[in-house]
Amino acid sequence: MTKRLKPATLCVQGGWNPKRGESRVVPICQSTTFKYETSEQMARLFDLEDAGYFYTRLQNPTCDAVAAKIAALEGGVAGMLTSSGQAASFFAVLNLCSAGDHLVSSATIYGGTYNLFAVTMKKMGVEVTFVDQDASEGEIGRAFRPNTKALFGETISNPGVEVLDIEKFARIAHGHGVPLIVDNTFATPVNCRPFEWGADIVTHSTTKYMDGHATSVGGAIVDSGNFDWEAHADRFPGLTQPDPSYHGLTYTKAFGRNAYITKAVVQLMRDLGSSPAPMNAFLLNLGLETLHLRVQRHCQNALRVAEYLSGNDKVAWVSYPGLPGDRYHALARKYLPDGSCGVIAFGLRGGRDEAIRFMDSLKLAAIVTHVADARTSVLHPASHTHRQLSDEQLREAGVAPDLIRLSVGIEDVEDILDDIRQALGE
């Protein structure tokens, strides 16, 4: 399967090319281990001299087929699945950073990622500087240090739905000799392929639109294969210098454009786990087969709901990049010409208390710690996903205390609108 196929075709058929007599559907390879005939054959796998499956913590055929589909959708050279989106964000960064290193990240990112960077990775000795993604190139550039290893941002931020200027971020990252990592969860590769705008590595919480049915937590990392690690060899010794845990193998020399993903699989997965279950990969693949149809419907429904909310007197403000008046509309037209996502952020007159009352009155839309699945759902980030953040961190992360995150599903939009109307007391 090649990149030349359109995203809709890749959603349905990418990643798995059965040969004569093989299963038409990606088979669930529910096995921890794989058999070999000689001790020598197995030894060669452990030395990375031969490619092959030996233990599902590192690689599994079902998971690999689904990773290959996501890599093809993103237009990358290689991909891997992880057990969650958190693991994907963590591995994407840890594959480049160790204690004493530094990362620059947009401040407007998912609260869990913010925590991971600001608290947990800090404890591991990796420092993060958060920047306003809308600031000038010069201002963002001032956050970089000699030990900075990557720049991170979200195509469409959760929950503020701010659109990242990917080309600007790529210019800044490359100007400082580091890769740009983009979390493309909300946009999905159906609506935006960050590699086409200069990003180097893409991450996903596949838990969201990709799975789409709220069945399986999962993540993915895809590498464009474009970043030249050897050109900055001193900055990325983990990739460009011998790995003692593989008898001195050097990833860039042994694997070329696949070096980054190979290292993440054979070193990070080997040592830290976080591998997905084959059954979950199978369910994710079923979701991916209809991703292009669902994303289109999510965007159509969300635009109708955003238009309704922005014309309603009880609504104080609405953020949805698809709205012509939105502050990110110009960036959305550039990076997301076919639609942004199904998530809308808005506030009601009456603030936080009114937000809670409104949410408790919804009947069709459920209060769930989730976003981006087929069913319309709603959440108050300041009380739920982002409750660990201080008021200042909330502001930095673009989360107003009254922000309601409405994840518009693929039901009939008239029923969604009726539910919102009754909850507003109309």
* Interacting residues with ligand PLP (CB under 6 A): 84-86, 89, 110, 112-113, 154, 158, 183, 185-186, 205, 207, 217, 219
CB of 112 to ligand PLP, least distance (A): 5
3-state secondary structure of 130: strand
Residue 73 or 417 having the CB closest to ligand PLP: 73
Residue 127 or 183 having the CB closest to ligand PLP: 183
- DSSP strand pairing (180-183 vs 201-205): parallel
Q: Which helix (H) or strand (E) holds 407?
A: strand 404-407
Q: Which residue has the tokens 């993060």?
A: 128
Tokens, residue 163: 């659109």
- DSSP strand pairing (404-407 vs 377-379): antiparallel
Residue 207 or 252 having the CB closest to ligand PLP: 207
Rounded to whole angstroms, how far apart are CA atoms 371 and 387? 16
Residue 220 or 423 having the CB closest to ligand PLP: 220
CB of 387 to ligand PLP, least distance (A): 14
CB of 352 to ligand PLP, least distance (A): 21
CB of 154 to ligand PLP, least distance (A): 5
Tokens, residue 364: 């069709």
- Strand order across the 219-223 sheet: 78-82, 219-223, 201-205, 180-183, 148-154, 102-106, 127-131
CB of 117 to ligand PLP, least distance (A): 12
Residue 109 or 309 having the CB closest to ligand PLP: 109
The CA-atom distances, in angstroms, between 423 and each of 225, 304, 377 are 49, 17, 14
Decide: residue 38, CB within 10 A, 0-12 exposed, 13-18 middle, 19+ buried: exposed
Residue 316 or 368 having the CB closest to ligand PLP: 368
For residue 214, the Cα-to-chain-centroid distance in whole angstroms is 16
Give φ, ψ of 205 to 5 degrees.
-95, 105
Rounded to whole angstroms, how far apart are CA atoms 315 and 336? 26
CB of 369 to ligand PLP, least distance (A): 8
The string of DSSP codes covering 201-225 is EEEEETTTTTT-SS----EEEEE-S
Residue 187 or 417 having the CB closest to ligand PLP: 187
Strands (E) across 218-289 are located at 219-223
Residue 372 or 410 having the CB closest to ligand PLP: 372
Residue 220 or 315 having the CB closest to ligand PLP: 220
Residue 331 or 424 having the CB closest to ligand PLP: 331
CB of 35 to ligand PLP, least distance (A): 33
Rounded to whole angstroms, how far apart are CA atoms 186 and 190? 10
CB of 419 to ligand PLP, least distance (A): 23
- Among all residues, whose Cβ is closest to ligand PLP? 85
CB of 109 to ligand PLP, least distance (A): 7
Rounded to whole angstroms, how far apart are CA atoms 236 and 214? 37
CB of 200 to ligand PLP, least distance (A): 18
The CA-atom distances, in angstroms, between 267 and each of 91, 211, 261, 270, 354 are 10, 27, 10, 5, 49
Rounded to whole angstroms, how far apart are CA atoms 160 and 343? 9
